[in-house]
Amino acid sequence: MESVQAIKQRFGIIGNTPSLNRAIEKAIQVAPTDISVLVTGESGVGKESIPKIIHQLSHRKHNKYIAVNCGAIPEGTIDSELFGHEKGAFTGATQTRAGYFEVADGGTIFLDEVGELPLTTQVRLLRVLENGEFIKVGSSKVQKTNVRIVAATNVNMFEAIEKEKFREDLYYRLSTVDIHLPPLRERQGDIHLLFRKFASDFALKYKMPTIKLTDNAVQVLLKHRWSGNIRQLRNIAEQLSVLEQNRTISAEVLRSYLPASASTNLPAIIKTSKSESDFSSEREILYKVLFDMKSDLNDLKKLTMELMKNGNTKDVEKNNESLIQKIYGNNDEEDVDFEESIPQNTEVISIPEHAINQEDITPIQDKYHFAEEIEEEETLSLQDKELELIKKSLERHNGKRKLAAAELGISERTLYRKIKQYDL
């Protein structure tokens, strides 16, 4: 069994971080077996090196090694790419085609970005992992294959499983052994070492002197967060090698090549993506507001009917004080016309009746116990009864609006508006 250091030299891996060494050790240990391996880590950490190590140290090293980027293949063709298809299986299938699992029989397949696989393809892949069987697109014949599957992903698989974007049974099949590669920001001792290696490689490639960093520039290099990891570091080294005439790079020059939004290696608060249920929650709130308005209208009808039945408005007002306050409020200054309170630049959206799905409304009705207060008197004209009550109250108080408003349980301003509305 080769040592970790020998493997690093053989595959061009730079770094001495313990977590990196542990990942390579695990790859060396599992290589002689046929165990499925899942390589995890952020984008740009060099996950593609692990499956190469596993293949070259296994008994399959003389057979094919195929790397497939699952995220780069369109959903409509990925089944055909992986498992092949028969002639005439779909438009454009002019001949039978062998898929990667058939071509790599006896070898190793590296499925990069496996978290991007469609659910239908995940079912097919699970069958290959369980018994080595697959069926070509457009065929009914079961074929056998003997491949070693090594997968890699930068997706949080547990979140993907929770959101039902990845099958839990497939995850446990793929991750018999999980090899995690650390991000570059957790490899402080390797950052400058990697930069010098890249600078030397580009100097040789472009036939120019090697760039060097000042002490202050080295500190800037180490403090940067490196969200793009090794790939980002390599790009910065290449840009400096090509664009800078002065081969000694200062801290100021280095900062000019680094993204300003991620210039320091500090804890970052990452806002999670908006939940898919947010829209339905907003719709539920809208429905609740509509039903609250309906409930208030029923309360107003109930109050009016109480006034009509009892005749003595003062007793009704006393008995229904909380109801009156709920509908009209008890502060004259706060009693603002709804239409007047809407800003001029506010867009009013009307919801057509057919746009509201009764199946959506029903469970919300049950949840908030919106009762349908239907009374026989609801068929009467509310406007006529309101007009009649206002007239009686004004007559009783000889046209004094303040006293009439107090008796009716509304503000003087609201009463004045009603007088103008009914032209009294």
What pLDDT digit, counting tens, does each position of 148-173 carry?
999 999 999 999 999 999 999 999 99
pLDDT at 331 over 70: no
Q: Would you say 13 and 7 are in contact if contact means Cβ atoms under 8 Å apart?
A: yes
Residue 369 pLDDT more than 70?
Answer: no
Residues 28 and 134 both lie in one domain: yes
Residues 355 and 406 reside in one and the same domain: yes
The answer to whether the beta carbons of residues 115 and 69 sit under 8 Å apart is no
- Which has the closest alpha carbon to 369: 295, 286, 277, 280? 295
Please give the pLDDT value at position 372.
45
Angle at Cα 368 formed by Cα 365 and Cα 369, nearest 5°?
70
Mean pLDDT of 23-52: 95
Same domain for 190 and 178, yes or no, is no
User: Hey, what amino acid is at 150?
Assistant: V
Q: From 182, 202, 232, give the residue that closes a domain.
A: 182
Residue 84, number of CB atoms within 10 A of its CB = 23
**What is the predicted pLDDT for the residue at 360?**
52
Q: Answer whether residue 153 is part of any domain.
A: yes
Q: Above pLDDT 90, what percent of the chain?
A: 58
pLDDT of residue 83: 95
Are 171 and 31 members of one domain?
yes
Domain-terminating residue out of 130, 150, 182: 182
Half-sphere exposure (Cβ direction) of 362: Cα atoms closer than 13 Å: 3
Phi and psi at residue 9, to the nearest 5°: -65, -40
311, 404: one domain: yes
Q: Assess if residue 86 is contained within a domain.
A: yes
Calculate mean pLDDT across residues 399-411: 82
d(CA 267, CA 269): 7
The upper half-sphere exposure of residue 19, i.e. CA atoms within 13 Å in the direction of its Cβ, equals: 15
* 189-231 per-position pLDDT tens digit: 999 999 999 999 999 999 999 999 999 999 999 999 999 999 9
Number of domains in the chain: 3
Does the pLDDT at position 378 exceed 60?
A: no
pLDDT value at residue 158: 94
Residue 267 counted as domain residue? no
Tell which of 127, 152, 182 closes a domain: 182
- Helical (H) or strand (E) element with 60: none
Note the pLDDT of residue 73. 93
Residue 127 has pLDDT above 50, yes or no: yes
Same domain, 299 and 395: yes
How many C-beta atoms lie closer than 10 Å to residue 235's C-beta? 14
Instruction: Give the model's confidence band at 328: pLDDT under 50 very low, under 70 low, under 90 confident, else very high.
Output: low
Q: Answer with the residue of higher pLDDT: 302 or 322.
A: 302
**Is 298 part of any domain?**
yes
Check whether 65 has a pLDDT greater than 90. Answer: yes
Q: For residue 270, is it within any domain?
A: no
Least confident of 78-82, 178-182, 333-337: 333-337
| Domain of residue 225, CATH code | 1.10.8.60
Is 247 in the same domain as 285? no
Give the contacts of 285 (CB within 8 A, at least 6 positions apart).
none
Are 296 and 326 within 8 A, CB to CB? yes
In this prediction, residues 335-339 reach a mean pLDDT of 47
Mean pLDDT confidence for 243-251:
94
CATH number of 176's domain: 3.40.50.300
Residues 102 and 201 in one domain: no
Q: Which of residues 127 and 412 earns the better pLDDT score?
A: 127
| pLDDT at residue 48, as a whole number | 94
pLDDT at 39 over 70: yes
Q: Does residue 201 share a domain with residue 317?
A: no
Q: Are residues 26 and 128 in the same domain?
A: yes
* pLDDT value of residue 377: 46
pLDDT computed for residue 333 by the predictor: 44
Please check whether residues 173 and 216 belong to one and the same domain. Answer: no
Same structural domain, 45 and 177? yes
Q: Which pLDDT score is estimated for 316?
A: 52
Q: Is 335 within the bounds of a domain?
A: yes
By the 8 A CB rule, do 40 and 153 touch? yes
User: What pLDDT does 154 receive?
Assistant: 94
- What does pLDDT average to over the chain? 82
Indicate whether 383 belongs to any domain: yes
Q: Which residues span the domain enclosing 382?
A: 278-422
pLDDT at residue 90, as a whole number? 87
In this predicted structure, the answer to whether residue 183 has a pLDDT above a threshold of 60 is yes
| Of the candidate ranges 31-45, 108-122, 205-219, 363-377, the one whose mean pLDDT is the lowest | 363-377
Confidence of residue 368 (pLDDT cuts 50, 70, 90): very low
Is 81 a residue whose pLDDT tops 60? yes
Predicted confidence band at 261 (pLDDT cuts at 50, 70, 90)? Answer: low
pTM: 0.62
Residue 272 placed within a domain: no
